[in-house]
Chain A
Amino acid sequence: MIKEEYPKVYLYRRIVQAKLFIDSNFMHKIDVDDISDEAFFSKFHFIRLFKSMYGKTPHQYLKSVRIEKARQFLKEGKSVTEACFSVGFDSLSSFSGCFKRIAGESPSNYSKQQEMVKKNIDKKPLAFVPSCYAYQHGWLENSNFEEASK
């Protein structure tokens, strides 16, 4: 361990603790004050340290976690409205705007696209597997997985 370069381990631990607080509380109405309280820092000192470690302000990070989780919910088949409220947004319009800025497309487009992918996976799962891997597994010889699992 390089002690001279890692002297403020308590600082790292407090910022990491705040990051983990965001990871497990993104679905609630939390703001930077709550997060900086969690790390026992003044708000501005906290924002500066957080950004230096993660490249994003706590607020930007919170938004990215919420949108990432929303993508997961939409992929699993939740509606846009359900995804919106499940990740801590309280209005559909702010959710849609934020989603589009971060994911590059609207949540409804993303949802439709995922639905189509799911249908294609159900129809032709092997189309998603490079054939070298499918061959190694022996999947090419028995591609009727539904039959196989009965």
Chain B
Amino acid sequence: MITKMTVTNVNVIDQDSAYDFYVNKLGFRVVDDIPMGPGTRWLTVSPPEQPDLQIVLFPVTVSKMFPKEVAENLIDLIKKGIFGCGVFTCKDIFATYEELKGKGVEFIKPPTKEFYGTEALFKDDSGNFFSLQPINNFNDEEHS
């Protein structure tokens, strides 16, 4: 039986820039930042209240996984904002929206009431987008 997710990844174009975005703007905690040879590192972060989930900031570079053409196509799609990478939750969506917007985070949708609750959408520094929702969107009885 699977019990939980511990590691997931977000494909990023530049790890230094992603570090700045996820740590200094979103306020995530660095779990691992381990050099793995010239120009490459194992970089993972966690949301402040979810230390047991590591998000790998996975660089899209030419490698075994990404042959040149694949890497180029993937970078192109990331920049175009094709990939939605998940939902982050917060206690107060309006306060979080104001804070992140003030730090220069690009929102493609401000807090908006949808049939499932209030939601905003923002992009990371590479172009991946995330949903931001208040935790109480998930606390009602329909979800339990």
A residues contacting B by CB (< 8 A) are: 1-2, 5-6, 9, 12-13, 15-16, 19-20, 52-55, 68, 121, 125, 128-130, 133, 135-139, 142, 145, 148-149
* In the complex, residue of chain A having the shortest beta-carbon distance to the beta carbon of B49: A55
Q: A45 vs B137: C-alpha distance in the bound complex, in angstroms?
A: 26
The answer to whether B99 and A2 touch across the interface, beta carbons within 8 angstroms, is no
The answer to whether B95 and A16 touch across the interface, beta carbons within 8 angstroms, is yes
Secondary structure at chain A's binding surface: helix, strand, loop or mixed? helix
The contact size tier of chain B is 20 to 34
B82 to chain A minimum Cβ distance, whole angstroms, is 21
Q: Check B42 for interface membership: any CB of A closer than 8 A.
A: yes
The answer to whether B64 and A12 touch across the interface, beta carbons within 8 angstroms, is no
B residues in contact with A52, CB < 8 Å: 92
Given the interface pairs A16-B102, A135-B64, A137-B64, the reply to whether A145 lies near B36 with Cβ below 8 Å is yes
The answer to whether A133 and B56 touch across the interface, beta carbons within 8 angstroms, is yes
In order of increasing CB-CB distance, the 6 nearest A-B pairs are: A136-B65, A53-B92, A53-B95, A2-B113, A148-B37, A145-B37
Q: Check B20 for interface membership: any CB of A closer than 8 A.
A: no
* In the complex, residue of chain A having the shortest beta-carbon distance to the beta carbon of B38: A149
Q: A55 vs B90: C-alpha distance in the bound complex, in angstroms?
A: 10
Given B29, B42, B63, which contacts A129 in the complex, CB threshold below 8 Å? B42
* A interface footprint on B4-44 (CB within 8 Å = 1, 0 otherwise): 00010100000000000000000001001011111010100
Given the interface pairs A125-B42, A130-B7, the reply to whether A139 lies near B98 with Cβ below 8 Å is no
A residues in contact with B58, CB < 8 Å: 133
A residues in contact with B92, CB < 8 Å: 52-54
B residues in contact with A53, CB < 8 Å: 91-92, 95
Q: A16 vs B92: C-alpha distance in the bound complex, in angstroms?
A: 11
The answer to whether B42 and A68 touch across the interface, beta carbons within 8 angstroms, is no
29 A-B pairs with CB atoms under 8 Å apart are A1-B110, A2-B111, A2-B112, A2-B118, A5-B113, A6-B94, A12-B95, A12-B98, A13-B98, A15-B95, A16-B95, A16-B98, A16-B99, A16-B102, A68-B29, A121-B34, A125-B36, A128-B42, A129-B32, A129-B42, A133-B7, A133-B42, A133-B56, A136-B64, A137-B36, A137-B64, A137-B65, A139-B36, A149-B37
